[in-house]
Amino acid sequence: MGLRLVVTALAICWAAVAECRDVPAWTACDVIIELTPDEARAHPNPWQTVEIKAELRSPEFKTFLIQAFWDGGPKMVLRMAPTQPGEWTYRVTSNLKRVDGSAGSFTAASSDRAGFIQPANVHHWKHATGNKPHLWMGQTLEGPFTTGSRAGFEAMIDALAAARFTHVAAIVDPDPRPDAPALALFQELDHRIRYVNAKGLIADLILAPGNNRLASALPSGQLRARYLRYVVSRYSAFDITWLGLENWEEYTDARAFLKEIGTLIKDHDSYGHPRSTHSKVTAAPLLGDGWLNFLTYGTLDAAIGSVEHQLYPLPAVNVAPYAGPRSLWNAGMNGHYPALRKSDPAAAKIWFEFFEKTRFWELEPYFDGDGGRAVALDRVSPDDRDGVEYIFMVERAGPVEIGVDRRGYDTRWINIDTGEITLLKDFKGERFTGEPPAKGNFVLHLSREGHKQSMGRSYRFESRTILQQEVETSPKLTPFDIAAPGDAMPAFLPAPFAVKMRRETRATRQMLFLWQGEVAVDGQGYRVLATGREGQFQAPRELIKRMPAVLSLRLYGMNAYGKVYMVDRVVRLTP
């Protein structure tokens, strides 16, 4: 018996060498374990009953826990990704006596890959090695990754890579099954994700469609846990992010449901890939549940994106429908990275090739301007004003104005429809005023290129301090109040809302208003009700689980200088 265990351990080690020997770091490789005929008879449904795990240890003794997945017949697969070159070891535990306690090793080769991405610098991204910043520009596909022919899919990915996209998002499984995974679908998905990664793109995995599809297909927590462990074990070794559910707001009891599956992914993904969920509006209502580490937005509404950017210290990715080149730049001015649905590759390439030449990983929304919106690297410390770069998107006809640090700047206009650049004379002063050179969609770029070069294209993420804003809630200092609704409103009918200004100043004449509502006792989190000074909104039905109910209403207002205020009101919902 002892000899058999030794031989089995060596056999597993040889399998690892065959699949993983000299695999480049940050590349997925497979260790295959075949069940014997006796084991197959004892486990007729290995998807449910066979357990194989490996403790994978790096050259620096960091440990990753890897779980095997079933890949048809008697085949079990341990899929792993060495995160650095050198000697890796692993030890297996299993409910198969033949396999339990076996061990092996392999050597990973060096790689030019920068590693998996992670949040950095509050609202931005970096790769795991070398502190290299990551410029997220994505395309969100309609439907699953496996739609259409393989040749058609690969041609699409080739086109996205040529247009400089760095991400592609789609649904993993359009119809999750409770009995066993659809192997043909997942095996095809393996190939496609490998192809995405090979072309330099990251795959953003939406686990299931909206409209309660995952909850309906897998109605129990046990079924969902088994399925999600399978997906995590199959795909966490690839270069991916997790995007939860398509349009999470469509799910019943969505917050609790996502907390369940998000926490499971967090606990089982040893590589710690970024986690969020696809959204119709915003994923921010889920922030308090501990599993999510970046936000998504399904709208380009400046009041939602800009105000919440000031509230939440996480990166944000915008998955809104594409509506022309301005969509990409609107996302950027909100402080978001674009991953829009059906983006135009030509317009996206213009956006990417502009921002890759900036210090994009340090840009934040900037408010000292008139006639448009801006992001900037305006100062490198809280105490020193040291303008480096200003990017201003024109939003109305006529002259625009932006305040800058009194330095000398290279100045140019960029036509975002064509990519055409119009160079201006170097500007030195405190306020730039000017007009685009022609009709169309333009962005103004003021940059101290010499200073940027002296910064050495450094990827230090500490070169500026980003302070999260403290929202002003004092009634004495807040320049507005809630005029409507009053103390009560209909639960299931639209009701008017309105802002009452207490005082008007230059700053308050350009305010953005965001209305949020929550029925706190039911634990569903808040929803965005509306934006703007006046109009009508309705309490979302998914928040009202029983009557009578009380709506906690919050009104945020951000002035022209980026200062955020908040007033609230408790509103009784009437039948």
Distance between CA atoms of residues 539 and 525, nearest Å? 13
Question: pLDDT per residue over 250-263, tens digit each?
Answer: 999 999 999 999 99
Question: pLDDT per residue over 267-297, tens digit each?
Answer: 999 999 999 999 999 999 999 999 999 999 9
Distance between CA atoms of residues 92 and 58, nearest Å? 15
pLDDT above 50 (res 8): no
Question: pLDDT per residue over 502-539, tens digit each?
Answer: 988 877 888 999 999 999 888 899 999 999 999 999 99
DSSP 360: G
DSSP 23: P
Inter-helix orientation angle 345-355/325-333, to 10°: 30
pLDDT above 80 (res 7): no
pLDDT at 503: 85
pLDDT above 70 (res 457): no
pLDDT above 80 (res 19): no
- Over residues 133-159, the mean pLDDT reads 96
Question: pLDDT per residue over 313-351, tens digit each?
Answer: 999 999 999 999 999 999 999 999 999 998 899 999 999
pLDDT at 452: 72
pLDDT above 50 (res 180): yes
Question: pLDDT per residue over 344-390, tens digit each?
Answer: 999 999 999 999 999 999 999 999 999 999 999 986 554 455 788 99
Distance between CA atoms of residues 92 and 66, nearest Å? 9
Q: Which domains does the chain have, with CATH numbers?
A: 2-108 (2.60.40.10), 117-353 (3.20.20.80), 357-468 (2.60.40), 480-574 (2.60.40.10)
Distance between CA atoms of residues 33 and 66, nearest Å? 14
Print the SS3 string covering 240-279: EEECCECCHHHCCCHHHHHHHHHHHHHHHCCCCCCECCCC
Around Cβ 92, how many Cβ atoms within 10 Å?
A: 23
DSSP 199: T
pLDDT at 277: 98
pLDDT above 70 (res 14): no
* Confidence label for 4 from pLDDT (cuts 50, 70 and 90): very low
CA atoms within 13 Å, Cβ hemisphere of 478 = 20
pLDDT above 80 (res 454): no
* Alpha-carbon distances, residue 207 vs 134, 173, 224, 499 (angstroms): 24, 6, 11, 40
Which pTM does this prediction carry? Answer: 0.94
Which residues have CB under 8 Å from 509's CB, separation 6+?
560
- Which three-class secondary structure state does DSSP give residue 367? coil
DSSP 69: E
pLDDT at 378: 83
pLDDT at 450: 75
- Over residues 31-56, the mean pLDDT reads 94
Mean pLDDT in the chain? 91
